[in-house]
Amino acid sequence: MLEVQLRNNAYINTRSSCRRECWLPPNLGNLKLNYYASVLDDDGSCVGSGVVLRDSYGNLVLTVRDRVMSRLRPCVVELVDVITGLEVVIQGGWQVESVETDCIEAVRLVNGEVANCFAKDGVLVENVRVLLALACANGVGFNHVPS
């Protein structure tokens, strides 16, 4: 079994032996963006979100987190975070190998697997698609990773 040691002396499995649930690093020399959003209050009035950019050794390159005091669906917050993260990547002159989220709804919308029935979400989805084309090396897309 191959492992990669992180700066904090934790280990992660590499592609050859990792089960589906663990984080997989991008190929050597590349970057990976991960996103998450979650409802923090029982009434849905506060949503937390975050963006993490890591290199092929698991080193943290960038992190952005936010708390939104609004009744937004986590998918909408996640799409907004994807836009924010991709804009930062582009402004920083980076390119990413892959973009991952645990929000299957966002992935299906961006990848065109389901029709989008909300105009507001449609604008967000189109923005994500444009930014993915600019920020992702070799046209790598938007992927779902179970949480």
Query: For 57-104, what is each residue's pLDDT tens digit?
Result: 999 998 887 776 677 777 888 888 888 889 888 998 888 988 888 888
Task: Return the pLDDT at 57.
Answer: 92
List pLDDT tens digits, range 103-146: 888 899 888 887 655 656 688 888 999 999 888 867 667 888 87
SS3 of residue 54 by DSSP: strand
Q: Give the residue with greater pLDDT, 50 vs 137.
A: 50
Nearest one of 147, 140, 139, 135 to 53, comparing CA atoms: 135
Instruction: Extract the tokens encoding 137.
Output: 């090396």
pTM of the predicted model as reported, rounded to 2 decimal places: 0.74
Q: What digits encode the pLDDT tens for the residues 24-49?
A: 888 888 899 888 777 766 666 777 77
Nearest to 98 by CA among 32, 54, 52: 32
